[in-house]
Homo-oligomer: A and B are copies of this chain.
Amino acid sequence: MPPEPFFDGPGIDRADALRADPAVLAAMAGHPDARQLRWANGFPELTADGRLAWAPVDRPELFLGRIGEAGCFCAIEDADVSAWAAFPLLSILTADDAPLFAAALSLSRWHARHRFCANCGQPTEVTRGGWSRRCPDCSSEHFPRVDPVVIMIAEFDGALLLGRQPQYPPGRYSALAGFVEVGENIEAAVRRELGEEAGIRVRGVTYVASQPWPFPASLMIGCRAEAESDELTIDTNELEDARWFSRAEVAAALAGAVGAPFAAPPRAAIARTLLEHWLTA
């Protein structure tokens, strides 16, 4: 049983077939059990026990889904999408509520920053319960972005490649990552990013797991690859350092052991899932 990423829960019933019907959405907003996400400091608000905090519906701009016949909504807020600012929340957020936290954060932010038509420059209107915006002027329809990102560990002779970006907390090393570009597939993006950032060529690339990452709207696609050598050429524009770590070193870091050679990524990051997977697979 491979380790599962943090944002891997089922979420709620998105009921996407109902999004196009304003009368149905209004009925779900008027249901006695309808609810709207509370918002605090640029993020969905959490209770002390790490659940999403809800309030009565007053601005049902974005339809997140339904629980029974009652709608779950969110207002458009200019969300904070700094993962660093979110980590204290992510450390208490329950896994059950994680997918809805991510959906609300990404969707709200997208609306706040996409009020105009990219095709003609005119203001657009929310449609489909918040799952698109339509331009009254040129009729273009715009859908919320989901940006695929590859994040990967490379292995050579029983050791694992991890890197460090300048903005990481002290001691932290993590998996290398980068956006998938037009015209390439997941495997090609993994090979390109490992070549660009660490100067290594890799042979096999395999998929491990994926999760949404709402800072602002990534789909993290976790992979592993076999390096052809351990000689590194580090792109210092991207990375402060990159190093190979042994199985024992990775185990010590994941355990948070005293004297561990690096600080592992937190549980909400899929990089941690990749390390756990590598140790157990």
Residues of A within 8 A of B (CB): 5, 7-8, 10-11, 14, 16-17, 99-104, 106-107, 110, 113-123, 131, 140, 142-148, 179-188, 191-192, 196, 207, 209-212, 214, 217, 219, 221, 235, 237
Contact = CB atoms under 8 A, between A and B. Distances in A.
A121 B122 contact: yes
B119 A121 contact: no
A114 B103 CA distance: 24
A5 B103 contact: no
A102 B93 CA distance: 40
A224 to B, nearest CB: 12
Contacts of A142: 118
A148 B219 contact: yes
What is the copy number of this chain in the assembly? 2
A210 B186 contact: yes
B16 A187 contact: no
A24 to B, nearest CB: 14
A150 to B, nearest CB: 10
Contacts of A196: 16-17
Closest 9 A/B residue pairs (Cβ): A103-B183, A116-B121, A106-B182, A207-B207, A114-B118, A102-B183, A185-B210, A186-B210, A121-B121
Contacts of A16: 196
A11 B188 CA distance: 9
B113 A116 contact: no
A152 to B, nearest CB: 14
